[in-house]
Structure 1
Amino acid sequence: MKISVVIPLYNAEKYIVETLDSLISQTYPIDEILVVDDCGTDQSTAIVEKYSMLHPVVRLIRQSHNQGGSAARNRGLAEARNAWVLMMDADDTIHPDLLKLQVEQLRRYMEIEPQPVCVHPAYVQTDENGNVLDNSEYRGQQLSYEETFGSLLVRNYIITPSGLLLNRNAALKIGGYKANFFVSEDAEFILRLSREGTFVYVDEPYVYFRRHEMSITSDLKKASQAGKAILDIYSIEEVKEAVFRRNFTKERNTIDFVTLLYQFNCYDEGFSYLKSINNGEFELSKYFLSGIYYIEKNEKNFAQQMFEKLLSIQPTHGAALNNLGVLLALHGEKRRADVLFQEAIAQHPGYMDAAHNLVELKSDFPSFRFTMRELRENLLRYK
């Protein structure tokens, strides 16, 4: 099985050699590496040209003008000569055995229906110098075809294009990446692809997802808009059908659907679903989502009661610590709020809402942030 690699290149002179080295060092041989120059202003192109002289497997493709990462990925997919294409960003790296494990796992699933359309791994996040960030490992899970679309709607577990091994024909069939979709275009592409075939998962954190100053501003903007922008593509009925199709308990699917209804601003409808939750396993989520409902209805005393009940059961619940802190701060109880924000950060390093609120406590005109969803086990890092 021959593999192509596609890398969109834009102002990545500091990192592109590391990225290419990690590909050249793969224990499974790569047939071609297509680097698509998106007309940046630094020395990236010259670096790749020099690199390709030493490693002929690397080919530079030049865009006529700057068109963005999605267009560059589409150009690479169109020109790739193999049926399977590994996507990479120009600032990330991968473990030497990633591709070998992906191909091995893919071969195990080749007889399944519908046929596999991608193989995705677990991830670990690094700083700009490639140092692994504490508690930054991010894993997915192997799901059936029927469960994948709904699970991705609830929470996208494919956090970067890097390390995503795509079936080229399936990617082209759905039109590739949308070049005119500027908010979380990667997640939007993944959702469409999930309806074409099976997603195969490799449970090894073998993609090193780099966080640095250039990516932070872009990622923060996307993070604040992504969920709603993607959900706007699908109807509530379509979302409901996909979520409840998953092979989870009715209570789990209900909780996840309520979370999505809140993103649609359907708070009354979402709150009505919570009344059916009697399973103790989801008691904490019920309290949390009830608290969010009361915040939206400006019934802050009821919201405070919900978060206090939750924390009496699970004192380390980060989003509840943050939200209760905000409610106390709004009532002038800044000392108690300070303790809660610090505890939230201690429990969840990289928790941006709590860090922001801790700073805002010192402001004469604070602008606090509630956290509207329960936190991931390990947070995505934006700084």
Structure 2
Amino acid sequence: MAMLFSVVIPAYNYEAYLPRAIDSVLAQSGDDFEIIVVDDGSTDDTPTVAARYQQLHPGRVRYLRQDNGGPAKARNRGVEESRGAFLIFLDADDRLLPDALERFRFWTQENRWGMVCGGHQSRHPDGKVRRHAPAVLTDDRLANFTAYIRREFGISNGATLVSRDVFEVIRYPESLRNSEDLPVFAQTLALFDCRSFPEPVLEVFKHDDSLRNNIDLILQAGSALTDILFDEALLPPRFLALRGEFEGRNALSVFRSLYLAGRYDEARQWYHRALRLAPRLLKEWPYLTKYVRSYFKG
């Protein structure tokens, strides 16, 4: 049978979580998928864990190891080594829900979608579980792109099916160690027809050591994120026209992260930068409120 899905699991020092991620894929129905674990230079017992699964499930699980280069490099390695017509990038600390691949199979019957986004649920340390449905994506690529860069909706890796055709045009930017998926999702929305469905296919586990919360990596991305996303060789002019607004909103996002981390002086600098780039963002009251409060906090 032809390989339909390649589930790529980038892993870095997540030995405690990796079995849950792999097991969640092995539990899926069908024999048209493969699992590729890309170990990004882990220093814990991740190699032993991944190699054991490869030994137990030959032909189904493949383990690859590389020097530490960041999640983008690990994802790109997975793309290069994969055989599936469609790819799913599952974070090593998350898990696919039962019937996730079956739900995605429905969308592969009409091979015209560059990306299909499903719903997901998040599980918090206090035990609370919240469900999140994706935005409704339409044939209007500019509308999809605009709403995404305005952060009107988010896209979760493990809840997203990406056609191999996308990676003939787009790759993960290896210079970024944070938000490396944002340019890929945005550019895919701009260049391909995409769809979504509300049913959850992924469970995201929230925890303090998640790379999602690494402030230093967020700062490293800085303006480089904007330069990569708004690639003049890739995006049509009507998409490039949104660069200034995105850069301002990205600065607001950095401001919020620094504010929540208690780094108030730095946060205010990023807020000022956001307003210089896009003065209309002054109307974003939640951010303005945090900015004012920062003077009373430190």
Q: Tell me, yes or no, whether TM beats 0.5.
A: yes
Superposition CA RMSD, Å: 3.6
Question: How is 1:164-203 mapped onto 2 (pairs within 5 angstroms)?
Answer: 164-174=160-170, 176-203=171-198
Please give the alpha-carbon distance, in whole angstroms, between the structure 1 residues aligned to 2:216 and 2:277. 29
Structure 2 spans left out of the alignment, 5+ residues: 252-272
Of 238, 241, 245, which residue of structure 1 is paired with 2:238?
241
Identify if the C-alpha distance between structure 1 residues 100 and 125 changes in structure 2 by more than 3 Å, giving closer, same or farther.
Answer: same
Q: How does 1:214-253 map to 2 (within 5 A)?
A: 214-215=209-210, 218-221=213-216, 229-233=224-228, 234=230, 241-242=238-239
Shift of the 25–241 alpha-carbon distance from structure 1 to 2, 3 Å rule, reads same
Distance 1:69 1:223, change over 3 A: closer
Deviation at 1:24, TM superposition (A): 0.8
Task: Tell me which protein shows more strand as a share of its residues.
Answer: 2
The 1-side partners of 2:75 and 2:198 are apart by: 25
Q: Is the 8 A contact 1:261 1:267 kept in 2?
A: no
* Cα deviation digits, residues 27-63 of structure 1 (max 9, x gap): 3444311111222011111112222232221111122
**For residue 156 of structure 2, what is the aligned residue in structure 1?**
160
Aligned ranges 1:1-16 → 2 under 5 Å: 2-16=4-18
Q: Which moved more, 1:209-218 or 1:92-101?
A: 209-218
Aligned pair 1:36/2:38, yes or no? yes
User: Which residue does the alignment assign to 1:120?
Assistant: 117
Quickly say closer, same or farther: Cα 1:49–1:202, change in 2 above 3 A.
same
On the 8 A contact 2:54/2:61 being kept in 1, the answer is yes
Find the aligned partners of 1:268 and 1:173 in 2 and give their Cα distance.
Answer: 33
Please name the residue that 1:278 is paired with. Answer: none
Q: Is the 8 A contact 1:84 1:165 kept in 2?
A: yes
- Rate the CA distance shift 1:137–1:32 in 2: closer, same or farther, 3 A: same
Matched residues, number: 269
1:315 is matched with none
Q: 1:178 to 1:76 in 2, by over 3 A?
A: same
Structure 1 residues 72, 153: CA separation in 2 closer, same or farther (over 3 Å shift)?
Answer: same
Tell me if structure 1 keeps the 8 A contact 2:119–2:159.
Answer: no
In the alignment, structure 1 segments of 5+ residues that lack a partner are 245-255, 275-288, 293-306, 308-318, 330-356, 368-383
Q: Which has the higher contact order (CA 8 A, sep 6+)?
A: 2
Q: Based on CA coordinates, which of the two structures has the bigger radius of gyration?
A: 1
Structure 2 match to 1:103: 105
**In 2: Cα distance, 1:210 partner to 1:87 partner:** 15
Q: 2:23: which partner in 1? A: 21
Contact 2:9 2:37 (8 Å CA) reproduced: yes
Separation in structure 2 between the aligned mates of residue 123 and residue 192 of structure 1, nearest angstrom: 22
Q: Flag the 1:121–1:132 CA change in 2: closer, same or farther, 3 A.
A: farther
3-state SS, counterpart of residue 116 of structure 1: coil
Distance 1:17 1:267, change over 3 A: closer
1:335 alignment partner in structure 2: none
In the TM superposition, 1:231-380 aligns within 5 A as 231-233=226-228, 234=230, 241-242=238-239, 260=246, 262-263=248-249, 267=275, 291=283, 319=286, 323=289, 327=292, 366-367=297-298
Which of 201, 204, 207 lines up with 1:209 in the alignment?
A: 204
Deviation for aligned residue 1:17: 0.8
- Which structure 2 residues correspond to residues 117-156 of structure 1 after superposition, within 5 A? 117-127=114-124, 131-133=127-129, 135=130, 137=132, 139-146=134-141, 147-155=143-151
User: Is the partner of 2:132 in helix, strand or coil?
Assistant: coil
| Cα shift at 1:84 | 1.2
**Contact 1:145–1:197 (Cα < 8 Å) also in 2:** no
1:81 correspondence with 2:77: no
Match of 1:304 in 2: none
How far apart are 1:214 and its partner, in Å?
2.0
> Would the aligned equivalents of 2:25 and 2:96 in 1 still touch at CA under 8 Å?
yes
Q: Is the 8 A contact 1:139 1:205 kept in 2?
A: no
